[in-house]
Amino acid sequence: MTKQDFRSRDARLGFLLILPAVILVILVVILPIISGIQISFTSQRVVGSEYELIGLKNYFELFEDKQFIASLGKSAIWVLANGFFQTLAALLIALLLNQPFRGQNFVRTWIILPWAVPAAVTAILWRWMFDASAGIVNTTIKSMDLVQKPVLFLANPDIAGVSLTFVNSWRYIPFLTIIFLASLASVPEEEYEAAQVDGASAWLQFKTITFPNLMPTLTVLGLVGTLWASNVFDIIWMMTRGGPGDATTTVPVLMYDMAFYGYNISKATAGAIIFLFLLIIFAFLFIFANRKQFVIASETFQDLSK
Amino acid sequence: MKSQSSVFSILRIFVIVLIMFILLAPFLWILLASFRPNMELVRNQSLIPNTLTIENYVSLFGKSGYWQWIINSFIVATYTVLISLPLIVAGAYSVYRTHYWGRNALSLFLLSVYIFPTALLVVPIFRIFNSLSLVDSHLGCALLNTAFAVPFGIWLLQAFLKSLPPELEEAAAVDGIGRMRTLFQIIIPQAAPGIIAIAMFAFIVSWTEYLFAMTLLLSNDLHTLPIGLTGIVFGQYRVNWGFAAAGAVGSAIPVFLLFLIVGRWFIRGISAGAIK
Amino acid sequence: MASVALKNLYKNFGQTTVVRNVNVEIDDGEFLVFVGPSGCGKTTTLRMVVGLEAISEGEIYIGNNLVNDLPPGDRDVAMVFQNYALYSHMTVSRNLGFALKARGVDEREIINRVQRVAKMLDLEEMLERKPRQLSGGQRQRVALGRAVVRSPKVFLMDEPLSNLDALLRLQTRKELIELTSELKSTVIYVTHDQVEAMTMGHRLAVMNKGEVVQLDTPEKVFNEPANRFVAEFIGSPPMNFLDVEVSEKSHKKTIRADSFELELPNSMSSFSDSKAIMGFRPHDIKLVSEGGLGGRVTVVETLGAEKLIYLKVGNNSLSILVPATEKISSGEHLHFEINKDHLHLFNRDDEKRILFPTES
């Protein structure tokens, strides 16, 4: 007797449909990781050069490399400031924009522009705005007598990280906001109406309706956003190259510099593998802690058939 | 959450205006700058320009490879959209509308690509793509962009796909319409707003991509806009701000036009269709 | 058209059995209604017939063919869904013709059949419109038309009227009865609305907790409900129930509750239980000035031609229907007699109907 039905009969179809994406990811992500692990065990210095197997030597060197350890710390701060702060800020902005106001459609369309332009444009925009001698930010705060000397937004080691975080947030928050807005729009209006009839306060409505409905989005963005932030390279590279000094040298910047300017690709790749390993631990813990939210394809067969 | 005092309401509008100002004013500022001579910009950035000039655009459009970069960027973005759309639609349909053991794990596996430290693993990527003859090729670049657009794209499409009633496929099944035909003639046409949004997403992922293009596109005549722009702006000892501003505007305009035409579809396409 | 047979049908979801041993044979051209409260398994049963749900155990025949292993599209059945499942990006005429087109029916033939169905369902004016430009009733007719146009062996309908407003539902109900009898269709219809079931079905399969508790004509189901559940579920307002004691005096059986006593007619004397549940419908009563059952009126609802009176009789709440001309207000004390010919008795343990020889 067959137990096949309409929904389970399409298992093969479903598998076939996702296969191309899986293959591409394996090709572009899994294979390079394997290849990267191989490289990290060698002494290769530039692509195509002679090398020999040196086991874990690159790893041992890195663990004693103060610059590398420091970059791990900077990456941690960067991830916290960007990944976490951006998600939170985007959520707040989305809540602010969710209720109707004049010009809402305009805002919903154009808020995303900073995310949609190349990082090179962002870098030009903000390097110019932050320029010490002629930048608009400095001219403005000077004319308002807020400061005596121009603020070296990108050249002062104490400020550069903050400036970069600001610019990177300027770039990513709009995109995250739009995703939150889309998610908010999917919350059934009746739930709010019922709560209003029951006299629930705005905070209670947020806690009992908005927040639970946003949880799946929040967790996915929390994970993906953090990973995105950890791998930010282009904007830092274009604005400060990790400087001044090593002030903004996160792991990606250091490793890139080491591979292509320090001519030590095997050591840089070993650093990448260590970083990847840390990210995998983070992702695993994050998913485990939020495992209920990560049931991405949530409807079970029974739900669908009522 | 509708009733609120007018003070709160005004404060809210103020904050919204402030946020939009921070997000969009730099674009207006750069637009203005692009019409000013570099010498004036270096001296001071007073709000009112003394002189307006198109010299920056003349040198951008005339001397540099601007048009070539634009064309290259469009080629890579078009490849990316064309390859990622079928993958995203098929993948999202698979994860959110078919039922098989492990689809949840597979979708998580796909999202795991973002663990991948792109800047750090360009060396192995280069080696693998080299062996596949995909170095110095727009297609190779587009494949990389696709791999990073697909997982999140699949997730973005979920709201729209989940909002379509399951009875659509059931009705088609009872009527003897095959699953592929159902997908192409019933689900995809109904998911059109979602698919437009996904196409925009893939386009922008590709349009803004820097690292892969820099790694894989060795020949100058293959360079995309971000590479070219970075080269002319940051390659010099002193930045020519007027020229840089024109370059920034020139890179933003295509995206601006895209948003002007289909921008309002983006948020609509990634929500469950609740936004008018 | 064809007959349908469900034999020893089971559906399990994991450990829970949602359909249990269903045996129903539907004749060619019969309109059979599965009716029951939500969660009783009626929709799951229908979905097994159509092939959207796997059969855990048992057999389904359409005509003479065992269809257990056939995919939905090969069973030659058509289904009308509760939410219609119209293809919103297609015009009405493409909606109607899509299944035919997918099956490779000749273009001319499709146009002819779509035209015929559109005429039948009064959709001719709407053929070029999209579903969102139609009213609820029109959408419902398109959904129906999409089934009719295929001339299937069997029509399966899952609460097709429940998304319509009350007035439109009445009208559509009538039209659906006319249409299906004109087409001599075999119809399996699922509803939770007992009025719909009574008016439309040639026979009803009343379901509760996954089982068919009674399979019979509407009259039989109404007049001789198989158990207390059916008696309560079918008929509006619902039947009244009283726990009674049974005693026997000189071959006459008498039933007694705390506040009254009733002598049973001879036809109802052949049973041995000493306890039972008595049931009577609210309209099977006669108001009297003295004797019978007495109680205090708690609520009076005017239904139009009749009034529904809620009474407190002893510890029981009962309801009765009286002509609207009766002047009754709450708080009042009222006496009524039960029509003995329409009395129902149910076993206290299994709540099954106590049968008498006069009944078939």
Whether the pLDDT of residue B45 is over 70: the answer is no
Per-residue pLDDT band at C35 (split at 50, 70, 90): very high
Kindly give, in sequence order, each residue whose CB lies less than 8 Å from that of residue A85, ignoring residues fewer than 6 positions away.
Answer: A165, A169
Give the C-alpha separation, C84 to C159, whole Å.
10
Per-residue pLDDT band at A46 (split at 50, 70, 90): confident
Kindly report, residue by residue over C218-246, the tens digit of the pLDDT: 999 999 999 999 999 998 889 999 888 88
Kindly give, in sequence order, each residue whose CB lies less than 8 Å from that of residue A211, ignoring residues fewer than 6 positions away.
Answer: none
**Which whole-number Å values give the CA distances from A282 to A82, A87, A163, A290, B104, in the listed order?**
16, 17, 26, 12, 20
Which whole number is the average pLDDT over C84-91?
A: 91
Per-residue pLDDT band at C34 (split at 50, 70, 90): very high
Contacts of A296 in chain B (CB under 8 A): 95, 104, 107-108, 155, 158
Q: Which two tokens stand for residue C236?
A: 């509006």
Contacts of C44 in chain A (CB under 8 A): 305
Q: Which two tokens stand for residue A178?
A: 């739009």
Parallel/antiparallel/unpaired status of strands C154-158 and C186-191: parallel
Closest CA to A113 of A54, A177, A53: A177
Closest-CA distance of chain A to residue B179, Å: 8
Give the C-alpha separation, A162 to B73, whole Å.
31
Kindly report, residue by residue over C156-179, the tens digit of the pLDDT: 999 999 888 888 888 889 989 998
Q: Is B241 on the interface with A (CB under 8 A)?
A: yes
Contacts of B173 in chain C (CB under 8 A): 51-52, 71-73
Determine, for residues C43 and A306 on separate chains, whether the beta-carbon distance falls below 8 Å: yes
Q: Is C51 on the interface with A (CB under 8 A)?
A: yes
Q: What is the pLDDT of residue B237?
A: 61
Give the C-alpha separation, A40 to A56, whole Å.
8
Question: Exposed, middle or buried: residue B7 (CB in 10 Å: 0-12, 13-18, 19+)?
Answer: exposed
Per-residue pLDDT band at C266 (split at 50, 70, 90): confident
Contacts of B176 in chain A (CB under 8 A): none
Per-residue pLDDT band at A146 (split at 50, 70, 90): confident
Parallel/antiparallel/unpaired status of strands C77-80 and C211-216: unpaired
Which residues lie across from C297 on neighbouring strands? C311
Per-residue pLDDT band at B265 (split at 50, 70, 90): confident
Contacts of C54 in chain A (CB under 8 A): 2-5, 8
Determine, for residues A8 and C54 on separate chains, whether the beta-carbon distance falls below 8 Å: yes
**Domain spans in chain B, listed from the N-terminal domain onward:** 62-270
Parallel/antiparallel/unpaired status of strands C57-62 and C4-13: antiparallel
Which residue of A lies nearest to C58 if distances are taken between CA atoms?
A1
Determine, for residues C87 and B167 on separate chains, whether the beta-carbon distance falls below 8 Å: no
Contact predicate C335/C293, CB 8 Å? yes
Q: Is A1 on the interface with C (CB under 8 A)?
A: yes
Q: Backbone phi, then psi, for C257, in 5-degree steps?
A: -115, 180
Kindly report, residue by residue over C311-359, the tens digit of the pLDDT: 998 888 899 999 988 888 888 898 888 888 888 999 988 899 887 766 5
Question: Exposed, middle or buried: residue C325 (CB in 10 Å: 0-12, 13-18, 19+)?
Answer: exposed
Contact predicate B256/A113, CB 8 Å? yes
Which whole number is the average pLDDT over C197-211?
A: 94
Q: Which two tokens stand for residue B210?
A: 């820097």
What is the distance, to the nearest Å, from the Cα of residue C74 to the centroid of all Cα atoms in its chain?
A: 28
Q: Which residue has the higher pLDDT, B206 or A244?
A: B206
Contacts of B174 in chain C (CB under 8 A): 50-52, 72-73, 77-79, 156
The DSSP line for A216-277 is HHHHHHHHHHHHHHHT--HHHHHHTTT-STTTT--HHHHHHHHHHTS--HHHHHHHHHHHHH
**Domain spans in chain A, listed from the N-terminal domain onward:** 28-64+264-306, 67-263
The DSSP line for A158-210 is HHHHHHHHHHHHHHHHHHHHHHHHHHHHTS-HHHHHHHHHTT--HHHHIIIII
Contact predicate A242/A260, CB 8 Å? no
Kindly report, residue by residue over C49-67, the tens digit of the pLDDT: 999 988 999 999 999 899 9
Which subunits have 3 or more CB–CB pairs within 8 Å of chain A?
B, C
Find the farthest-apart pair of alpha carbons in chain C and give their distance in angstroms, rounded. 80
Question: Exposed, middle or buried: residue B39 (CB in 10 Å: 0-12, 13-18, 19+)?
Answer: exposed
Kindly report, residue by residue over A212-222, the tens digit of the pLDDT: 888 888 888 88
Per-residue pLDDT band at C42 (split at 50, 70, 90): very high
What is the distance, to the nearest Å, from the Cα of residue A60 to the centroid of all Cα atoms in its chain?
A: 29
Q: Which two tokens stand for residue B39?
A: 């010498």
Contact predicate B152/B158, CB 8 Å? no
Determine, for residues B174 and C89 on separate chains, whether the beta-carbon distance falls below 8 Å: no
Q: Is B165 on the interface with C (CB under 8 A)?
A: yes
- Which region among A252-261, A262-271, A297-306 has the lowest average model confidence (pLDDT)? A297-306
Q: Give the 3-state secondary structure of residue C62.
A: strand
The DSSP line for B231-259 is HHHHSSSS--HHHHHHHHHHHHHHHHHHH
Closest-CA distance of chain C to residue A102, Å: 28
Per-residue pLDDT band at C155 (split at 50, 70, 90): very high
Determine, for residues C78 and B176 on separate chains, whether the beta-carbon distance falls below 8 Å: no
Whether the pLDDT of residue B211 is over 80: the answer is yes
Which whole number is the average pLDDT over C137-144?
A: 92
Per-residue pLDDT band at B275 (split at 50, 70, 90): low
Determine, for residues B263 and A109 on separate chains, whether the beta-carbon distance falls below 8 Å: yes
Helices (H) and strands (E) in chain C, counts: 8, 20
Question: In this structure, what DSSP letter does residue C299 have?
Answer: E
User: ω into residue A32 within 30 of 0, thus cis?
Assistant: no
Determine, for residues A5 and C44 on separate chains, whether the beta-carbon distance falls below 8 Å: no
The domains located in chain C, with CATH, are: 4-232 (3.40.50.300), 240-347 (2.40.50.140)
**Helix or strand run (H / E) with residue B39:** helix B38-43
Q: Is C57 on the interface with A (CB under 8 A)?
A: yes
Give the C-alpha separation, C53 to C10, whole Å.
11
Q: Which residue has the higher pLDDT, A189 or B257?
A: B257
Q: What mean pLDDT, rounded, does chain B reach?
A: 85
Per-residue pLDDT band at A167 (split at 50, 70, 90): very high
Q: What is the pLDDT of residue C316?
A: 84
Determine, for residues C102 and B176 on separate chains, whether the beta-carbon distance falls below 8 Å: yes
Per-residue pLDDT band at A297 (split at 50, 70, 90): low
Q: What is the pLDDT of residue A306?
A: 33
Q: Is A105 on the interface with C (CB under 8 A)?
A: no
Q: What is the pLDDT of residue C13?
A: 87
Q: Looking at the domain that runs over A67-263, which CATH code has it been given?
A: 1.10.3720.10
Best probe of the B interface among C44, C79, C95, by most B CBs < 10 A, is C79
Residue type present at position B119 = A
Which position has the token pair 């399966």?
C156
Whether the pLDDT of residue C91 is over 50: the answer is yes
Contact predicate A226/A246, CB 8 Å? no
Complex ipTM: 0.88
CATH superfamily of B62-270: MetI-like (1.10.3720.10)
Per-residue pLDDT band at A152 (split at 50, 70, 90): confident
Q: Is B25 on the interface with A (CB under 8 A)?
A: no
Q: What is the pLDDT of residue C45?
A: 94
Q: What mean pLDDT, rounded, does chain A reach?
A: 84
Q: Give the 3-state secondary structure of residue C282.
A: coil
Q: Which of A41-45, B232-236, C25-29 has the highest mean pLDDT?
A: C25-29
Percent of chain A exceeding pLDDT 90 equals 18
Closest-CA distance of chain C to residue A3, Å: 5
Residue type present at position A93 = I
Which whole number is the average pLDDT over A37-63?
A: 83
Whether the pLDDT of residue B80 is over 50: the answer is yes
Whether the pLDDT of residue C21 is over 90: the answer is yes
Which residue of C lies nearest to A1 if distances are taken between CA atoms?
C57
Kindly report, residue by residue over B167-197, the tens digit of the pLDDT: 898 999 999 888 888 999 999 998 888 999 9
Which residue of C lies nearest to A9 if distances are taken between CA atoms?
C71
- Which region among A296-305, B68-77, C195-204 has the lowest average model confidence (pLDDT)? A296-305
Q: What is the pLDDT of residue B42?
A: 67
Kindly give, in sequence order, each residue whose CB lies less than 8 Å from that of residue A193, ignoring residues fewer than 6 positions away.
Answer: none
Determine, for residues C52 and A9 on separate chains, whether the beta-carbon distance falls below 8 Å: no
Question: In this structure, what DSSP letter does residue C264 have?
Answer: P
